Chains A and B, each alone.
Chain A
Amino acid sequence: MLPFAALASLRGIAARGGLRAASAASALGAPAASAWAAPRRAVGTSAPAAAAASAPEHQQSAEEPRLPQRGEARKLNLCSAVNEALHVALEADDSACVFGEDVAFGGVFRATVGLQERFGAERVFNTPLSEQGIVGFGIGLAAAGGTAIAEIQFADYIFPAFDQLVNEAAKMRYRSGGLFSCSGLTVRAPCGAVGHGGHYHSQSPESYFAAVPGLKVVMPSSPAEAKGLLLACIREPDPCVFFEPKMLYRTAVEDVPAGDYTIPLGVARTLSEGSDVTLVGWGAQVLVLAQAAKAAAALPRPISCEVIDLRTLMPWDAKAVAASVSKTGRLIVSHEAPLTGHFGAEITARIAERCFARLEAPPLRICGADTPFPLVYEPLYLPGVERVLEAIKASAEY
């Protein structure tokens, strides 16, 4: 049965929605849903200029992670935070294995540095070059009660494993009535733009996986977040796909608590409170939203934005977003993946249902274009700070 709110919103759109939204927006000189991007600069939560732009295939870091003493928090970049989480996971659970292409020497991004030396080649190892093999193997390892932490070298290359994830990992518990599951499976994959990755070193495929009942999908936005969320995924009793925004591997640096901690899945975090517009994002895009919020607050007629980092795409924290939108009456969702049919569509639809009576402006999506990732045009393809700012203005002045 369709909830009443959904019916109401359907009628509402037919009566007064889309057309007015479009013309009002273009009257502002920038149709909000398609206002275009400023180049996305490397932004960090505390040390923005930490590292040069990353190379698409390999990133080399000067610092090789060393393990901290208990209780100590230290400044780490996101890649080292992931590395630390893997150390913790392997230390705490001797059934845990880390494997994938080139992980033995530390991985092309250096996220698995030091693991094989410390935990041995039986638990940390290279696999033959086959993503379907990597994930299928991980499913079996997990089905036997083990903890499988599989690396897919680039999210762009996860698709040979799509069948294993969609038809096997996601459905194992359901199809066996709970006899079998692959709870212990976590698939890590670096994703997102780095500025020069072109079609196959830039994609953000999270929404394909979020659309599959049975998979949990997570993307962190900072080093401390990455460590806690990855450890949560590894312990979660469901198969998880953990996308790591590779733009942040070197550029995002902050204090990361030492030792073992988790951040619960399915719970969003509010980066900054605001009263006029709710901005929702995940991964590297959260930092773009934070910058746009800052810029909006500095406008001659300041606009106050609430920035929400969704953290988990499935199951996503609709309650937190709805509570924020109930307060602000305005919603902008932003992601690097293309506009059409990706996760922004789910969020705006759901919030339109839940908060219809509270909305002051049409929910907007500021996203990548509906084209493959075009190398030379990346700065214009990405939903950068200026494009988000245009949308904030359009929404506030709607």
Chain B
Amino acid sequence: MSLLLGSRFSLAAAGALRAAGSSAAAALTQLHCPSGAGVAGGGTAPSAARSKSSSSGAGEFGCEDAAETMEIPGGRIPVTRALRFAGGPSEPDSPKMPCYRVLDPAGRLLPGAEQPHPPSGPELVALYEAMARLQVMDTIFYEAQRQGRFSFYMTCAGEEAAIVGSAAGLDPQDQVFSQYREHGVLLWRGFSFDDFANQCYGNELEPGKGRQMPIHYGSTRLAYHTVSSPLATQLPHAVGTAYALKLRRSPNVGVAYFGEGASSEGDCHAALNFAAVLGAPCLFICRNNGYAISTPSYEQYRGDGVASRGPPLGVPSIRVDGGDAVAVVNATRAARALAVREGCPVLIEAMCYRSGHHSTSDDSSRYRTREEMAEFRARDPAVRLRQHLDAAGLWDAARDAELRRAARVQAVAALDAAARVPKAPLSSAFEDVYKEAPWHIREQRDAALAFARAHPHVVPQGVPLR
């Protein structure tokens, strides 16, 4: 019996190795828990090959006699005589996963903070400039929405460092699947204020042709998959893309951004598990900003946040201070290197605070106190980085004022220009449902055009009747 099982186990183990790496050498490196830049966990080792000396061995669970083991399909597990439950409410003081940080809240370098991939001076300046421009754009676009210029907007205040910092840690061609609050990644990659404004206005210059709500950006050039409102659906997509990249030996990775609220969706678990099992080089970047609309994170989960879910699934994971741009850059670069080297997913949880309302449709004073908001808003991630730059002599108040002034002018000009651009013609609403429009859609398009010509007053402003 055990012989028979044994052979099945080794098959399973071989399968796991095959999936995890293309060569035996690559596979072998997986037996060691990755140890880059403070990355915790490291379940890339196929369980069949895990020995009692592995880091997640018996000691952690209070097992005295770790020499005794039990064979199960897929490997061995330690045996214990103690009847003990792991985790749960009886362990409220169980250790929390620490948060990796490089800059203190005042922007000073923390002595001894590891920086395996320190951003250079010019990189830091570019990082700050993007964060500042993002803030200016958010403020002006938010105001434009309040004035009724378009129907919806979302800001990322409080999460600028997590978003732009992670973007700066990626290769520009890494395939990004965002949730909706990560427009800073696009900004970093070169999406212009005009591009943003065109999408919000839904005019003919935006690739989505006005079909989706504002903030649903997308760009093939910038490897940014078009935003889709249903939460967490993009996470398995990122894994599939990461797998495809690995198949074709691409040096790029898949990147899945999501909120801590979205992490409760079934798709999130599926994605993490798929990525681990199939060995997909995919970065999961969770923005834990404390809220999912009105729901505070303590009503979202009882465990230690999101990062702690990675290691048990076999996903190396790290928690990082999402207000610390330098820490986010380092963590993202290290995670990326690990994912490419090991052919595995990596989970990053960036601890932030959603300083703004959920969206222009939300009034967060209904569910959180002004004091709380004021206290967290004071921790502006851009200011923190700026203090660091100021101290290093890389930035000053005059440059700052000029950068923000110029950005304001540009953002307003972009909105004004976008408002003047016509919408895509009516017929375009019937394109792209399928590659080729079947008869019934062609029929409906023709009928819509005829109806619109007969009733011009029902045609939305700026929509050409073609």
Residue of A nearest to B438 (CB): A370
Say whether B261 contacts A129, CB under 8 Å: yes
Say whether B423 contacts A105, CB under 8 Å: no
Say whether B443 contacts A34, CB under 8 Å: yes
Question: Any chain A CB within 8 A of the CB of B221?
Answer: no
Report the bound CA distance from A197 to B211 in whole Å: 10
Report the bound CA distance from A374 to B366 in whole Å: 32
Question: Smallest CB–CB gap between B439 and chain A, Å?
Answer: 11
Q: List B residues 425-466 near A (Cβ within 8 Å).
A: 426, 429-430, 433, 440-441, 443-444, 447-448, 450-452, 454-455, 458-460, 463
* Given contact pairs A35-B447, A105-B367, A129-B264, A370 touches B228 in the complex (Cβ within 8 A): no
Question: Any chain B CB within 8 A of the CB of A60?
Answer: yes
Cross-chain contact of A387 among B262, B264, B367, B451 (Cβ < 8 A): B451
Say whether B463 contacts A377, CB under 8 Å: yes
User: How many chain-B residues does the 8 Å CB contact rule pick out?
Assistant: 55
Say whether A386 contacts B429, CB under 8 Å: no
Say whether A380 contacts B459, CB under 8 Å: yes
Residues of B within 8 A of A75 (CB): none
Question: Smallest CB–CB gap between A191 and chain B, Å?
Answer: 15
Which of B10-18, B155-163, B295-303 makes up part of the contact surface?
A: B295-303
Cross-chain contact of A105 among B151, B294, B458 (Cβ < 8 A): B294
Say whether A380 contacts B151, CB under 8 Å: no
Say whether A29 contacts B454, CB under 8 Å: yes
Say whether A58 contacts B292, CB under 8 Å: no
Residues of B within 8 A of A59 (CB): 361
Residues of B within 8 A of A386 (CB): 455, 458
Cross-chain contact of B295 among A56, A126, A377 (Cβ < 8 A): A126
Question: Smallest CB–CB gap between A366 and chain B, Å?
Answer: 11
Question: Any chain A CB within 8 A of the CB of B424?
Answer: yes
Cross-chain contact of B294 among A104, A156, A159, A371 (Cβ < 8 A): A104
Residue of B nearest to A390 (CB): B451
Q: List A residues 356-398 near B (Cβ within 8 Å).
A: 369-372, 374-381, 384, 386-387, 390
Question: Any chain B CB within 8 A of the CB of A336?
Answer: no
Report the bound CA distance from A198 to B264 in whole Å: 25
Question: Any chain A CB within 8 A of the CB of B117?
Answer: no
Say whether A372 contacts B463, CB under 8 Å: no
Question: Smallest CB–CB gap between B377 and chain A, Å?
Answer: 20
Question: Smallest CB–CB gap between B218 and chain A, Å?
Answer: 13
Question: Smallest CB–CB gap between B308 and chain A, Å?
Answer: 16
Say whether A36 contacts B358, CB under 8 Å: no
Q: Using an 8 Å CB-CB cutoff, how does the interface string of B51-76 with A read, 1 for contact, 0 for none?
A: 00000000000000000000000000
Question: Smallest CB–CB gap between B262 and chain A, Å?
Answer: 6
* Given contact pairs A38-B455, A130-B264, A130-B266, A372 touches B433 in the complex (Cβ within 8 A): yes
Cross-chain contact of B361 among A34, A55, A101, A372 (Cβ < 8 A): A55
Say whether A371 contacts B441, CB under 8 Å: yes
Say whether B426 contacts A56, CB under 8 Å: no
Residues of B within 8 A of A108 (CB): 293-294, 361-362
Say whether A130 contacts B454, CB under 8 Å: no
Residue of A nearest to B261 (CB): A129
Question: Any chain A CB within 8 A of the CB of B22?
Answer: no
Say whether B210 contacts A374, CB under 8 Å: yes
Q: List B residues 104-129 near A (Cβ within 8 Å).
A: none
Question: Any chain A CB within 8 A of the CB of B98?
Answer: no
Say whether A196 contacts B229, CB under 8 Å: no
Say whether B230 contacts A156, CB under 8 Å: yes
Say whether B293 contacts A199, CB under 8 Å: no
Question: Any chain B CB within 8 A of the CB of A31?
Answer: yes
Residue among A133, A199, A339 having the largest count of chain B Cβ atoms under 10 Å: A199
Say whether A39 contacts B444, CB under 8 Å: no
Say whether A102 contacts B293, CB under 8 Å: yes
Say whether A130 contacts B265, CB under 8 Å: yes
Cross-chain contact of B299 among A29, A126, A369, A377 (Cβ < 8 A): A126
Residues of B within 8 A of A196 (CB): 151-152, 213
Residues of B within 8 A of A387 (CB): 451
Q: List A residues 123-147 near B (Cβ within 8 Å).
A: 126, 128-133
Say whether B151 contacts A56, CB under 8 Å: yes
Question: Any chain B CB within 8 A of the CB of A96?
Answer: no
Report the bound CA distance from A243 to B458 in whole Å: 27
Say whether A201 contacts B460, CB under 8 Å: no
Residue of A nearest to B367 (CB): A105
Report the bound CA distance from A30 to B452 in whole Å: 11
Question: Smallest CB–CB gap between B65 and chain A, Å?
Answer: 38
Question: Any chain A CB within 8 A of the CB of B192?
Answer: no
Question: Smallest CB–CB gap between B214 and chain A, Å?
Answer: 9
Say whether B447 contacts A31, CB under 8 Å: yes
Say whether B433 contacts A370, CB under 8 Å: yes
Report the bound CA distance from A318 to B316 in whole Å: 59
Say whether A375 contacts B231, CB under 8 Å: no
Residues of B within 8 A of A38 (CB): 455, 458
Cross-chain contact of B228 among A35, A200, A340, A378 (Cβ < 8 A): A200
Question: Smallest CB–CB gap between B53 and chain A, Å?
Answer: 37
Say whether A157 contacts B230, CB under 8 Å: yes
Residues of A within 8 A of B360 (CB): 55
Residues of A within 8 A of B213 (CB): 56, 196-201, 375
Question: Any chain B CB within 8 A of the CB of A160?
Answer: yes
Question: Any chain A CB within 8 A of the CB of B219?
Answer: no
Question: Any chain B CB within 8 A of the CB of A37?
Answer: yes
Report the bound CA distance from A156 to B229 in whole Å: 9
Say whether B292 contacts A370, CB under 8 Å: no
Report the bound CA distance from A157 to B390 in whole Å: 46
Say whether B458 contacts A376, CB under 8 Å: no
* Given contact pairs A159-B230, A198-B213, A380 touches B452 in the complex (Cβ within 8 A): yes
Say whether A379 contacts B444, CB under 8 Å: no
Q: Using an 8 Å CB-CB cutoff, how does the interface string of B359-386 with A read, 1 for contact, 0 for none?
A: 1111100110000000000000000000
Question: Any chain B CB within 8 A of the CB of A91?
Answer: no
Say whether B429 contacts A377, CB under 8 Å: yes
Say whether B451 contacts A30, CB under 8 Å: yes
Residues of B within 8 A of A102 (CB): 292-295
Residues of A within 8 A of B362 (CB): 57-58, 108
Residues of A within 8 A of B210 (CB): 374-377
Question: Any chain A CB within 8 A of the CB of B212?
Answer: yes
Question: Any chain A CB within 8 A of the CB of B305?
Answer: no
Residues of B within 8 A of A31 (CB): 447
Question: Smallest CB–CB gap between A176 and chain B, Å?
Answer: 25
Say whether A128 contacts B262, CB under 8 Å: no
Question: Any chain B CB within 8 A of the CB of A114?
Answer: no
Report the bound CA distance from A104 to B291 in whole Å: 14
Residue of A nearest to B451 (CB): A36
Say whether A376 contacts B424, CB under 8 Å: yes
Say whether B460 contacts A371, CB under 8 Å: no
Question: Any chain B CB within 8 A of the CB of A245?
Answer: no
Report the bound CA distance from A384 to B457 in whole Å: 13
Cross-chain contact of A370 among B261, B440, B463 (Cβ < 8 A): B440
* 7 A-B contact pairs sorted by A residue (CB < 8 Å): A36-B455, A55-B360, A102-B292, A126-B294, A157-B231, A369-B430, A377-B426
10 closest A-B pairs by CB: A36-B451, A376-B210, A34-B447, A58-B361, A200-B229, A55-B361, A196-B151, A128-B264, A57-B361, A198-B213
Interface of A toward B, CB cutoff 8 Å = 29-31, 34-39, 55-60, 101-102, 104-106, 108, 126, 128-133, 156-157, 159-160, 196-201, 339-340, 369-372, 374-381, 384, 386-387, 390
